[in-house]
Amino acid sequence: MQASDELHEKNAFGARFEREGVVLLQLRRYGKGSSARSDARGSRNREDRTLTQLVMAAADIGRDRPAVVGQGYAVNFGELKGRAQGAAIAMASDAVDDSALTVALMTSVPGLAVSGPRGLADTLAGIRIQAMMVLAEAELV
């Protein structure tokens, strides 16, 4: 089997690999290893952060900015952060991680749990874009 047969779709925000109907999500965009440098604020570049790290940072800067918007609902970064923190506590986790964020999304976005892997992947990619926009706008000010 050729590599092109295994890789159906890949984007810069949440790589998606599909084979035989199974979709694996990559919540982290990897940098260039040791060449990935810290920015002026001492944290990793936005592209090297996990989605959870981006959401937490976006919530600190733009709490009321929309993270997910759909027909009849909107979830802002502040609400998503609060739900993720609640999920982390419920799972007895030391910190908010990708699983806590996923639980928060499943409980706050109507229909996401039944939308399947593609719906989740599209939602994660959209949140990554929104979070990066919030962080980029804050750097410009």
The full set of domain ranges for the chain reads: 38-140
Residue pLDDT, tens place only, 105-136: 999 999 999 999 999 999 999 999 999 999 99
Long-range contacts of 123-129 (CB under 8 A, 24+ apart): 123/68, 124/13, 124/14, 124/25, 124/27, 124/51, 125/11, 125/13, 125/14, 126/68, 127/51, 127/54, 127/55, 127/67, 127/68, 127/80, 128/13, 128/14, 128/29, 128/51, 128/54, 129/13
Residue pLDDT, tens place only, 7-43: 344 434 444 444 434 444 444 444 443 333 334 443 4
pTM over 0.85: no
